[in-house]
């Protein structure tokens, strides 16, 4: 791989030559067999697509990417966005081109995708316990193209030691601090210190930082939720200070990393005092926000720091489009999009606009609600006295949780702007985003 690039421009641009066909449900049947490049050259519009459909908003994506890049630069922190949100090398490129340190992934398969597209700096926000994954990382990671991973138990240290026994490979790892009731991570500072000592004693491991994930400890931005997050982050800071005092870091450059898309402001507030550019090891603070580039009309709209502060909030960069396929009871419409098409785990889709055609004029759909979703259908209730809904009508849906939206689509059209309530024109497809889940 070319380590002078943050990601291989040749590999990403090569997606333009991919052929589109029946495997890509967002692509019209009339364009079966065309290439990505030819599809865009034809300047297709929203009206030429079909439902069910997921689309992205080009302006929102750019604005969101710019917003967090600027914020990180202002606060002197690194960004390694969690690539599992989109699994799209094209969107990773947008983040890396704006100064992101690298890309964070969640498992071995995702690491392989990222390295195939030439992502130089990688972080696995997880522990390596599969021998195949351990051996692969040991083989492909280099000082110029590092792969960081996390360790949260003595058992993981033992697995890596046994797998690499007799090898001169050394893996760069961070000790992960967890919390009782949380997800992964050593349960407490004392347990994390014991693990760090075992890492320091291993011939195949080098301790380069502290990691954690505060998002599993709270799901709200109320006082109780924020107190839990901040208390946990304070423990991460304490762990770092004890590691420094005991001299357990094995590198002159140390990373402290936390921060999803919900509480990254608290991460910086609590942990930025750890940043060190003077004597001793260099210490960088890294956040891993991933959903921010897409944002949403649900969970992240309510919990994002920028939404809570009211200071230039992120913009919803994705929408669902569904058509009414059945309207046989007053006040109930069945739509042609369901669990296989749209996210539902962090809130059901939100009906926003209605129109008679895809790409045509739309108006607000007030009082409508998605009450449940099946595999291929959504149940939408509405006030039959004030709203008229007919078979064939198109509903634009606000969505919640981009992480479980992208995995349902291999190709996602990007539109030149969001359809708003006053628009009477169509929208051009300006890009196609490929995903690799």
Structure confidence by residue, pLDDT tens digits, 101-149: 999 999 999 999 999 999 999 999 999 999 999 999 999 999 999 999 9
| Tokens at 148, concatenated | 């960081």
CB-based contacts of 228: which residues, under 8 Å, 6+ apart?
Answer: 217, 218
What does the pLDDT read at residue 2? Answer: 76
pLDDT digits (tens, 9 = 90+) for 54-94: 999 999 999 999 999 999 999 999 999 999 999 999 999 99
What does the pLDDT read at residue 221? Answer: 86
Split at pLDDT 50, 70, 90, the class of 422 is very low
Split at pLDDT 50, 70, 90, the class of 278 is confident
Q: Please state the φ and ψ torsions of residue 225, each to the nearest 5 degrees.
A: -65, -45
Report, as an integer, the average pLDDT of 364-370: 96
What does the pLDDT read at residue 421? Answer: 45
Q: Is the dihedral of CA 317, 211, 191, 228 positive or negative?
A: negative
What does the pLDDT read at residue 181? Answer: 77
Q: What share of the chain has pLDDT > 90, as a percent?
A: 91
pLDDT digits (tens, 9 = 90+) for 322-334: 999 999 999 999 9
Q: Compute the distance between CA of residue 415 and CA of residue 359 in angstroms, rounded to an integer.
A: 11
Q: Compute the distance between CA of residue 352 and CA of residue 54 in angstroms, rounded to an integer.
A: 14
pLDDT at 174 over 70: yes
Q: Compute the distance between CA of residue 251 and CA of residue 372 in angstroms, rounded to an integer.
A: 52
Q: Compute the distance between CA of residue 272 and CA of residue 254 in angstroms, rounded to an integer.
A: 13
Residue with tokens 């939100």: 350
Q: Please state the φ and ψ torsions of residue 305, each to the nearest 5 degrees.
A: -55, -40
pLDDT at 21 over 80: yes
Split at pLDDT 50, 70, 90, the class of 419 is very low
CB-based contacts of 243: which residues, under 8 Å, 6+ apart?
Answer: 175, 193, 196, 207, 210, 249
Split at pLDDT 50, 70, 90, the class of 424 is low
* Residue 339: closest CA among 377, 294, 284: 377
Q: Compute the distance between CA of residue 34 and CA of residue 247 in angstroms, rounded to an integer.
A: 59
Preceding peptide of 118 cis, ω within 30° = no
* Residue 325: closest CA among 269, 395, 267, 221: 395
339: left (phi over 0), alpha (psi -120 to 50) or beta: alpha
Residue with tokens 């505060």: 214
Q: Compute the distance between CA of residue 254 and CA of residue 177 in angstroms, rounded to an integer.
A: 16
Between the alpha carbon of residue 33 and those of residues 15, 54, 170, the distances in Å are 14, 21, 46
What does the pLDDT read at residue 218? Answer: 87
Rg of the chain's alpha carbons, rounded to an integer? 23
What does the pLDDT read at residue 309? Answer: 78
Task: Fill in the DSSP letter of residue 17.
Answer: G
| Tokens at 165, concatenated | 């026994």
| Contact indicator for 217, 179 with CB cutoff of 8 Å | yes
pLDDT at 31 over 80: yes
What is the average pLDDT score of the chain? 95
Domains and CATH numbers, the chain: 1-58+294-437 (2.40.37.20), 121-289 (3.20.20.10)
Measured between its terminal Cα atoms, the distance across the chain in Å is 22
**Buried-exposed string 257-285: b where 16+ CB fall within 10 A, e elsewhere:** bbbbbbbbbbbbebbeebbeeeeebebbb
Q: Is the dihedral of CA 407, 411, 416, 419 positive or negative?
A: negative
The contacts found for 94-98 with CB under 8 angstroms, 24 or more apart, are 94/61, 94/62, 94/65, 94/293, 95/65, 95/69, 95/293, 96/6, 96/7, 97/6, 98/65, 98/66, 98/69
pLDDT at 173 over 80: yes
As a residue count, the chain comes to 437
Which of 113-117, 261-265, 368-372, 420-424 is predicted least confidently? 420-424
Which of 141-150, 211-220, 252-261 is predicted least confidently? 211-220
| Tokens at 73, concatenated | 């630069």
Report, as an integer, the average pLDDT of 193-220: 95
What does the pLDDT read at residue 374? Answer: 98
Q: Compute the distance between CA of residue 147 and CA of residue 399 in angstroms, rounded to an integer.
A: 33
69: left (phi over 0), alpha (psi -120 to 50) or beta: alpha
What does the pLDDT read at residue 425? Answer: 63
The contacts found for 329-332 with CB under 8 angstroms, 24 or more apart, are 330/384, 331/381, 331/382, 331/383, 331/384, 332/379, 332/380, 332/381, 332/382
| Contact indicator for 357, 47 with CB cutoff of 8 Å | yes
């Amino acid at each position: 791989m070319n380590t002078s690039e943050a990601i291989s421009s040749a590999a990403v641009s090569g997606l333009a030559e991919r052929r589109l066909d029946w495997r890509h449900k967002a692509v019209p049947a009339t364009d079966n067999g065309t290439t990505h490049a030819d599809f865009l050259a034809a300047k297709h519009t929203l009206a030429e697509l079909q439902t069910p459909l997921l689309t992205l908003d080009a302006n929102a994506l750019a604005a969101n990417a710019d917003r967090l890049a600027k914020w990180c630069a202002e606060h002197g922190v690194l960004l390694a966005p969690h690539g599992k949100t989109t699994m799209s090398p094209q969107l990773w490129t947008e983040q890396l081109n704006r100064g992101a340190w690298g890309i964070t992934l969640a498992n071995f398969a995702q690491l392989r995708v990222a390295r195939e597209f030439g992502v130089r700096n990688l972080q696995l926000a997880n522990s390596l316990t599969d021998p195949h994954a351990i051996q692969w990382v040991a083989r492909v990671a280099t000082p110029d193209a590092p792969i960081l991973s996390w360790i949260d138990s003595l058992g993981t240290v033992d697995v890596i030691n046994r797998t690499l026994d007799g090898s001169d490979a050394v893996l760069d790892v961070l000790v992960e601090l967890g919390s009782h009731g949380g997800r992964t991570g050593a349960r407490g500072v004392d347990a994390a210190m014991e693990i760090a000592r075992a890492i320091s004693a291993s011939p195949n491991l080098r301790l380069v930082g502290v990691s954690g994930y505060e998002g599993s400890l709270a799901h709200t931005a109320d006082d109780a939720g924020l107190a839990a997050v901040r208390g946990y982050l304070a423990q991460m800071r304490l762990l770092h200070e004890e590691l420094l005092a005991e001299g357990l870091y094995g590198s002159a450059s140390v990373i402290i990393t936390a921060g999803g898309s919900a509480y990254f402001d608290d991460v910086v507030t609590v942990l930025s005092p750890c940043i060190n550019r003077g004597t001793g090891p260099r210490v960088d603070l890294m956040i891993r926000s991933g959903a921010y580039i897409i944002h949403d009309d649900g969970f992240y709209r309510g919990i994002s720091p920028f939404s809570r502060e009211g200071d230039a909030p992120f913009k919803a960069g994705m929408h669902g489009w569904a058509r009414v396929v059945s309207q046989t009871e007053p006040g109930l419409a069945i739509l042609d999009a369901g669990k296989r098409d749209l996210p539902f785990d962090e809130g059901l889709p939100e009906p926003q606009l209605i129109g008679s055609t895809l790409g045509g004029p739309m108006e607000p759909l007030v009082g409508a609600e998605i009450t449940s979703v099946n595999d291929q259908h959504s149940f939408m209730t509405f006030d039959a006295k004030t709203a008229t809904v007919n078979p064939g009508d198109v509903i634009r849906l606000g969505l919640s949780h981009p992480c479980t939206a992208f995995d349902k689509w291999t190709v996602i059209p990007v539109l030149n702007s969001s359809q708003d309530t006053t628009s009477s024109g169509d929208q051009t497809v300006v890009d196609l985003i490929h995903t690799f889940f």
